[in-house]
Amino acid sequence: MEKDSLIRGMVVTDFDGTIYHKDSSFHPKDMDTLHRLSEQGFVRVIATGRSMQSLNKVIDSSFPVDFVVFSSGAGVYDLKNEKLLRRQVFSAEETVEICRKLLKLEADFMVHHPIPDNHFFHYYHTGRENPDFFRRLEIYRDFARPFDFQEVEVLEATQFVVIVPPEEQFYTRMSEAFEDISVIWSSSPIDHASMWIELFPSGSNKGAGIAWLAEKLGVAGHRVMAVGNDFNDLHMLEWASYAYVVENAPLQLREMFTEVASCDRGGFSEAFQRFCSAEFPGEEEHG
């Protein structure tokens, strides 16, 4: 998609827990807002930690969104034209080095294949108790295989997923061990208690993915709004000129950014209304 002077702005939303609720799906008000956004000249973007394979279990190209920043910014996808626009991966040499460090740290981890096949992964388990690790493994059993160094050492990996009980000290150790790459953490979307620490190529995060897309489309930074619900949204929330978090977000995020209604009460729509009131004062209400 080329730069378009008719674009009024960009509206970005996280997926799980922000606009999509695993029990109640999408709030009708939010779906109505997404449809109206296109008519009003706004680019609609989902920014998610999911791979495209995982996201496609819930939505397809008919969903009222234009682009997807997926795998926490490692990839950017044109949903309407079903076209991959951007991807970032670790080289085979970097993949080997990271594997060695994780083995030394005695971490339970999964190393994912390069985009667009990053739903496939190899897994390594230390033998310690880690229920959430095996819950994720069971969900993606068809795409998982045990860790084999000879197979992994020739792999250009998209990301690593390290799953541990909620220990902030472990996150600090990870950050110190991997100073030159992106270390992104969030609460587990499965048990909501364990910590997921994801490793991506340097500069790969939701904020960087959105910034790249905004520049490609010619959208001014002050016309970008983002709404999220967890710490893996932090980069995009800090980058966007207008940043909101839903009521079900952790307290620390709600103290940092403007709070809106919860995911299951149309928080995305409230965020957009606030954005319009601030950026387009005096205009007719937009959805």
pLDDT of residue 170: 80
- Domain count along the chain: 2
Enclosing domain of residue 58: 9-87+204-279
pLDDT score of 1 more than 80: no
Q: What is the CATH number of the domain that holds 27?
A: 3.40.50.1000
The answer on 60 and 155 residing in a single domain is: no
261 phi, psi to nearest 5 deg? -60, 165
pLDDT of residue 5: 52
- Which residues on neighbouring strands pair with residue 196, listed in sequence order? 163, 186
The answer on 108 and 189 residing in a single domain is: yes
pLDDT score of 284 more than 60: no
In terms of Cβ atoms closer than 10 Å to its own Cβ (0-12, 13-18, 19+), residue 141 is exposed
The model carries a pTM of: 0.90
Residue 1 domain-assigned? no
Contact at 8 Å (CB) between 226 and 242?
A: yes
The answer on 97 and 190 residing in a single domain is: yes
Q: Cα separation of 179 and 232, whole Å?
A: 17
Residue 231 domain-assigned? yes
Choosing from 134, 168, 200, the residue where a domain stops is 200
Residue type, 128: R
CB atoms within 10 A of CB 37: 22
Choosing from 146, 180, 200, the residue where a domain stops is 200
Q: Cα separation of 241 and 224, whole Å?
A: 6
The answer on 247 and 218 residing in a single domain is: yes
Model confidence pLDDT, tens digit, residues 250-259? 999 999 999 9
pLDDT of residue 283: 59
Choosing from 148, 180, 200, the residue where a domain stops is 200
Whole-number CA gyration radius for the chain: 19
Model confidence pLDDT, tens digit, residues 128-165? 999 999 999 999 999 999 999 999 999 999 999 999 87
